[in-house]
A and B are shown apart, each in its own frame.
Chain A
């Protein structure tokens, strides 16, 4: 008998075996992600303990032990939060003192942002070219809707308040600061020494001081600087300083975009015989602005959060509306509830915008393709 070495025939190969239980499925995932070493295990346990401390108490406070209905704080008898004010006061939180029967104008202006932004954000959309005219007209349309005139009932700006004021100041600041920021960014990269120095000085000064001091300028100093025959609303003055403040940040964002444009683009434009303005306007800026959009969105998020500072000079933004409400005897002492509500609002708005800007960054980042 001859012995031949054993070898498997292709058709009786052993079947693939599943990895050990400890390395796959839920247990495997747990081991890899939560308990892969003593340090990790410790951290996991610590984190679980923290969650166990926080979550049940938070849920009880916010939902299970909370009161939701009533017309004053005495209706709230539970040990948790008192949300009864929400029903009574939500309009003030949203629109400030804007006349009730006119709030549709605020809603409409807010809604019109969508078609105004669409052609900028989705440039491949059909009809984008035509809609762009609407984008340009939007600031004027919104101003007209909010303030009135020409047939609409006029609403003085001191009726602006609540989230509507935060959004108005934030949006006006960002829209107005865009052209100024472009000019400053071009100025900072200009070959002309005086123009460059002035641009740098403007940018550094406005980036170097806290917004709060600029708001004091708006509230107290601007009326002194302007002719006495000429008085501006406080809201308008705030928008002026917020614009100047945002322009400095905008200039830096756009400068970043300009720097990212390869030299070849400039050279090609010059080779075509384009002058400075046409080169910038037709070739460089469109590209630079496009890659600056994430930065612009981030600037807007920062500015939008900063609009809460107007409380310091007595404007009725949403924080101040909350404060006013809790000094009303009916709703005294509901500080935490209003703070939580306002925080959530800002979180939802800012977080979704920041996600969007991250998405844009990834889409624009061509290096990964």
Chain B
């Protein structure tokens, strides 16, 4: 700038009227304010922790937990560490969330499609289901289903199927597979079969597109996936045994057990989220213009095929983004497990917090884990969404 010193007063005003300079100044102020606020909280925290003789840090994760967990997907005993207990909790969260997401999607799609069916009664009944579950707190529903499940027959009067699967108010006890030497080969054959059928499927689809010749993909694929492992299984002398549950004095022993807490939580989350998903699916289907289905009918496609090949693919574009946030909600709602004693990340974290007194650390772990789960799910669903998006021509 040519004009300088004597006009310095002018320059301040010019900075003020320059949008870039103004926004830079504003942002500096924001950062300063935020830094002050953080410093305020950190200083308070330090002072308070010192006053209470509490030592921050994650060293406690190495200390033995001394409490038991009733559902552990990995090895765990009461002498394991707090850190391992939290990992067990995380896996339990992932288990119920994954199972819930799958079943809620199935229920949601079915309910969404059938609510639009021309059967008046079915449409109404699904409407009642959707409105009732959506408008009652999910916490109440979890507790409700748990009360129902604990009303199942007692251990002594267990319902059983073939004397190897038992249902009672302590859960479903079923035989657990025991893998013997050589089962690894069978598993390998299975994986190879899946891969091979994927390759064949790609080739078949390309040929179908190019020449219009159909290919019996279902049967070929099934054969590839099932036959080789089955042959190998027989050839290796059936390297698999079952651990069949046996009745002992109090409980069943052996096999594995699905607790009523898991079932109640999973089912409540499924029906609750399923109701929301059904509304999303319904809106998605309604968003596809009527001309599409009429055109499909005109081409002679049957209603089921029209739904599968014409309506749903187009509706998915509308459905996927809100579906993602329902998946995230389900994962977050799984933290209500604490109300019925399903030992998920929050429930075990609460115990760890109680026994160790390390509140900041435990809450920090919760937040980081749930944030990562959220961001991970969002990233995956965004990828899937861009994958299925219509290629605009």
**SS class, residues of chain A in contact with chain B:** helix
The 10 closest A-B pairs by CB, nearest first: A33-B120, A208-B374, A350-B135, A210-B332, A210-B335, A305-B137, A194-B27, A208-B371, A308-B137, A213-B366
Also in contact, A342 and B140, with CB within 8 A (given A34-B121, A195-B30, A210-B335)? yes
The reply to whether A306 and B48 contact each other, CB–CB distance below 8 Å, is: no
Q: Once the chains are docked, how many angstroms separate the CA of A33 from the CA of B48?
A: 68
Closest to B43 in A: A227
Q: Contact mask A134-158 → B, CB, 8 Å, 1/0? A: 0000000000000000000000000
Kindly state whether residue B47 has any CB partner on chain A within 8 Å: yes
Those of A11-45 within 8 Å (CB) of chain B: 32-34, 36, 40, 43-44
B101 to chain A, nearest CB (A): 16
In the complex, the answer to whether B371 meets A205 with C-beta atoms within 8 Å is yes
Report yes or no: A209 in contact with B371, Cβ–Cβ below 8 A.
yes
Known: A34-B121, A36-B118, A47-B125. A209 touches B332 (CB 8 A): yes
Chain A contacts for B143, CB-based, 8 A: 339
- B163 contacts the other chain (CB 8 A): no
B44 adjacent to A227 (CB under 8 Å) = yes
A347 touching B44 in the complex, CB below 8 Å, given contacts A194-B31, A195-B27, A209-B370: no
| Residues in chain B near residue A51, CB distance under 8 A | 125
Interface: B34 (CB within 8 A)? yes
CB of A198 within 8 A of CB of B367, answer: no
Count: A-B pairs, CB below 8 Å: 150
Q: Which residues of chain A from 307 to 331 have any CB-CB distance to chain B below 8 Å in the complex?
A: 308-309, 311-312, 319
Q: Contacting B136 at CB < 8 Å: which of A33, A205, A217, A347?
A: A347
A225 within 8 A of B: yes
- Chain A nearest CB from B280 CB (Å) reads 13
| Pairs A–B under 8 Å by Cβ, sample size 13 | A43-B114, A47-B119, A50-B125, A51-B125, A209-B332, A209-B366, A212-B346, A213-B367, A221-B363, A228-B48, A305-B138, A347-B132, A354-B135
Q: How many B residues, CB 8 Å from partner? A: 52
Determine the main DSSP class of B at the interface with A.
helix
Would you give the 0/1 interface string for B203-238, flagging 1 where the beta carbon is closer than 8 Å to chain A? 000000000000000000000000000000000000
Restricting to B37-78, which residues have a CB under 8 Å from any CB of A?
A: 41, 44-45, 47-49, 51
- Nearest Cβ on chain A to B332's Cβ, whole angstroms: 4
A310 to B230, CA, bound (A): 53
A1: interface (CB < 8 Å):
no
B338 contacts A by Cβ under 8 Å? yes
Which residues from A are CB-within-8-Å of B118?
32-33, 36, 40
Interface assignment of B292: CB less than 8 Å from any CB of chain A = no
A301 lies within 8 A of B135 (CB): yes
Partner-A contacts on B (CB < 8 A)? 23, 26-27, 30-31, 34, 41, 44-45, 47-49, 51, 114, 117-122, 125, 131-132, 134-140, 143-144, 147, 328, 332-333, 335-336, 338-339, 346, 350, 353, 359-360, 363, 366-367, 370-371, 374-375
Residues of A in contact with B, size category: 35 or more
Q: Which of A220, A312, A319 contacts B140 (CB 8 A)?
A: A319
Chain A residue at smallest Cβ distance from B133? A347
- Give the CA-CA distance A342 to B137 in the complex, in Å: 10
Nearest neighbor of B377 in chain A, beta-carbon distance? A208
Interface flag for A77 (CB, 8 Å): no
> When the two chains form their complex, are residues B30 and A225 in contact, meaning their CB atoms are under 8 A apart?
no
Contact call A198/B34, Cβ cutoff below 8 A: yes
Q: How far is the CA of A336 from the CA of B27 in the complex (A)?
A: 55
Taking A209-B371, A212-B346, A354-B134 as given, write out 10 further A-B residue pairs in contact, using a Cβ cutoff of 8 Å, ordered by the A residue number.
Answer: A32-B118, A33-B120, A40-B117, A44-B122, A195-B26, A205-B367, A210-B346, A213-B370, A221-B360, A339-B143
Known: A198-B34, A228-B51, A346-B135. A221 touches B122 (CB 8 A): no
Given the complex, which residues of B lie within 8 Å of A343, measured CB to CB? 136, 140, 144
A343 to B132, CA, bound (A): 9
A207 contacts the other chain (Cβ, under 8 Å)? yes
